[in-house]
Amino acid sequence: MKLPRLLSALALGLCAVAAAFAKPVTVGFAQTGAESAWRTANTNSLKSEAEKRGIVLKFADGQSKQENQIRALRSFIAQGVDAIVLAPIVTTGWDPVLREARRAKIPVIIMDRKIETSDESLYTAFIGSDFYKEGAMAADWLAQNAGSRTRIVELQGEPGSAAANERRRAFADALAKHTQFQMLDSQTGNFRRAEGKQVMEALLKKHGKAIEILYSHNDDMALGAIQAIEEAGLKPGQDILIVSIDAIGEAVKTVAEGRMNCTVECNPLFGPKVYDLVAKILAGEKVDKQMYNVDALFDTTTATAALPTRQY
C-alpha cells in the first residue's frame, strides 16, 4: 500500500476509534413506579443528572409490578445498554434476568432497595440507604421522647419490599428492648398517601383514642394519616405522636408546624452518585459492593432550620 493510502486508512481508523469513544453512555433505569413524592424526586434526580452529563437514559416505570421491571430489564439487555440501574420493587425473583444481563456483560447497579439472591456476583454494586438503621432511629427517638405514651399503630410500606421489611424489623427489634411499648395494630398502606389515609381511618374506627403513637414507613402515608386524624377531630402531633421516614420537604415542614413529631431522612437524590458509579465501573475501576447514604433525623428542634436547604 502506498504511503498516502496508508496514512488515509490510518486516519479513518483513528476517527472510528475516536467516534467509538465519543459515543454517549446509555443507561437503562427500571424504576418501581411513582407511588410517593420520594419516588418522584428519585426519578427526577436520575433524569436531570443524566441530561447534565449527556447520558442517554432509557427509563421504565414499573408501575409497582415486578413483571414490568423484568420486562424492562430484558428490553435494556436486547438494546445493548452500557449499564442497568434497578430499583427493585421486591427483594426476590431477580436471579434469572440478572443472569441474562451478566451473559450480555452489562453491569447492574441495585439502587435504593436491596435484593435477595443466590449469587451476589449477579449485580455489580448496591447503592442506597440503610433501612434498618432508619427504623432504629425512629424507634430510638420514640423511646426518648414518647413520655407516658406507649400504644402504637404502624403503617407498613409495600409488602415484600426491602424498605418495608427492614423498617418493620428494626422497629420490632427496638420494641423488644423497650417493653413499655405496645403494638396495637400494623397494616400496609403501600407507601401511598391515599392508602395511608384510608388505613388510618379504619384504625381510628377500630381503636379510637387508644392510639397514642403512629409509626409510618414513609412520609406520604403519614401525611395521609394526618388528614384522617384531623378529620376525626384529633390533633396530629399532640393527641397522636407521629414518627415517619423519608424527610421529604412537605414532611419536614409538617414537623416544623408541630403536626408531625419526627421524620428520619432517606435521601432520594441518587443521580450524581449513580452516574459516578457507572463511570467507574465502565472504566474498569474497582468499586465497593455496598454503599450507603448518611441520613439525618428531623424533629421540632431541627426541622425549621433545615427547611431552606431541603432539595426535595
136 and 215 in a single domain? The answer is yes
Model pLDDT, residue 23: 85
Q: Are residues 32 and 66 in the same domain?
A: yes
Q: Which residues form the domain of 173?
A: 131-266
CATH (domain of 50): 3.40.50.2300
* Model pLDDT, residue 309: 86
Task: Check whether 9 has a pLDDT greater than 60.
Answer: no
Q: Which residue did the predictor score with more confidence, 8 or 88?
A: 88
Both 37 and 184 in a single domain? no
Q: Is the pLDDT of residue 4 over 50?
A: no
pLDDT at residue 5, as a whole number: 53
> 48 and 165 in one domain?
no
Question: 19 in a domain, yes or no?
Answer: no
Q: Is the pLDDT of residue 8 over 80?
A: no
Question: β-strand 125-128 against 290-292: which pairing, if any?
Answer: parallel
Residue 5: count of CB within 10 angstroms of its CB: 9
pLDDT score of 33 more than 50:
yes
Q: What's the structural domain count of the chain?
A: 2
User: Is the CB of residue 111 less than 8 Å from the CB of residue 273?
Assistant: no
pLDDT per position as a tens digit, 263-291? 999 999 999 999 999 999 999 999 999 99
Domain assignment present for 10: no
How large is the average pLDDT for residues 122-134?
A: 96
Is residue 98 in a domain? yes
Contact 112, 46 (CB under 8 A): no
pLDDT of 13 above 50: no
CA distance 90 to 33: 12
Check whether 12 has a pLDDT greater than 80: no
Residue 161 lies in a domain: yes
Report if residue 11 sits inside a domain: no
Which grid cell sits at 52? 447534565
Domain assignment present for residue 200? The answer is yes
Residue located via cell numbers 448518611: 294
**60-87 mean pLDDT:** 98
Residues for the chain: how many in total?
312
Higher pLDDT, 20 or 48: 48
- Let me know whether 58 and 172 are in one domain: no
- pLDDT of 152 reads 98
Contact assessment for residue 166 and residue 197, using Cβ atoms and an 8 Å cutoff: no
pLDDT of residue 17: 37
- 212 and 280 housed in the same domain: no
Angle (CA) 90-101-76 rounded to 5° is 85
60: region left, alpha or beta (phi > 0 left; psi from -120 to 50 alpha): beta
Q: How many CB atoms lie under 10 A from the CB of residue 204?
A: 21
Say yes or no: 110 and 169 in one domain: no
pLDDT in tens, 197-254: 999 999 999 999 999 999 999 999 999 999 999 999 999 999 999 999 999 999 999 9
**Share above pLDDT 90 across residues of the chain, in percent, rounded to a whole number:** 90
- 3-state DSSP assignment of residue 98: helix
Considering the domain architecture, whether residues 222 and 278 belong to the same structural domain is answered as: no
pLDDT value at residue 51? 98
Asked if the structure places residue 170 within a domain, the reply is yes
Predicted confidence (pLDDT) at residue 11 exceeds the cutoff of 70: no
Q: What pLDDT, on a 0 to 100 scale, did the predictor assign at position 112?
A: 95
* 157 and 41 in a common domain: no
Specify the pLDDT at position 291: 95
Report yes or no: 164 and 218 within 8 Å, Cβ to Cβ. no
Same domain, 161 and 187: yes
Query: Mean per-residue pLDDT for 55-82?
Result: 98
54 touches 26 (CB < 8 A) = no
Residues 220, 285: one domain? no
pLDDT, tens digit, 9 for 90 and up, residues 83-119? 999 999 999 999 999 999 999 999 999 999 999 999 9
